[in-house]
Amino acid sequence: MATGGAATLFVTGTDTGVGKTRAAAALIGCARAIGIDAVGYKPVAAGCTATADGWRNDDAEQLLAASGGGLAYADVNPLALPAAIAPHLAARDVGLRIDTAILDAGHARLAARHALLIVEGAGGWRVPLDERIDFADWVGGHRWPVVLVVALRLGCLNHALLSVEAILRRTTLAGWIANVLPPPQERWQDNLDSLRARLPAPCLGVLPPDGDAAANRAALDTSATRSLLGRA
């Protein structure tokens, strides 16, 4: 996991809107609670609001808040893109091309100062970064372990199993996090049990519907999460 002295966990999802940011912020909180200097990194954020200080993304702001202070917004999110669409398209809209060297440089700056980086992707595992490269290429090239976030809704079994199959072609699956979306699906517990039986990595916890930061962190305060973070 180590790069520049730090360990890295990459958080991806089965799709967009599945709770990656809630999970990533909770992982940061859990790590910091056991004395690990963990910070968040959202290298590319598509869907930003114009502010007096520049474009800002809510997901990146949540990671910044979870990281304990001392970081600038640009440290956490070097590429903030206005449109809430696929990153390569959002970049094209403003005349940019996403260069993974920029993503690597931002990661290296944080890795030089902190013990653990929780890196959040955009959308799912295979979301494109440009015409040829996607997140799977970037993360797989570094061999960072992946934590998969699964929203417990109709279709989640297929989406999770396909995502894991693709992840394992490039790197390792460190664990997965279930997210109970509001209103909870009637058979969400059955889906959770099916995922526990089929996914080849530990469940790190189950996020509650509409949980705040403290509730999300408590939901991930499991032996599996502590073991993973302790090895990072």
Active-site residues: which are they? Answer: 42
Query: Among residues 31, 30, 34, 29, which one has the least CA distance to residue 65?
Result: 29
State whether residue 84 is helix, strand or coil.
coil
Alpha carbon distance 45, 86 (integer Å): 10
Number of Cβ within 10 Å of residue 157's Cβ equals 17
Side-chain half-sphere CA neighbours of 213 within 13 A: 12
Q: Is the peptide bond before 208 cis (omega within 30 degrees of 0)?
A: no
Query: Among residues 208, 225, 226, which one has the least CA distance to residue 151?
Result: 208
By residue count, the chain amounts to: 232
Query: Among residues 227, 5, 27, which one has the least CA distance to residue 147?
Result: 27
Alpha carbon distance 81, 47 (integer Å): 6
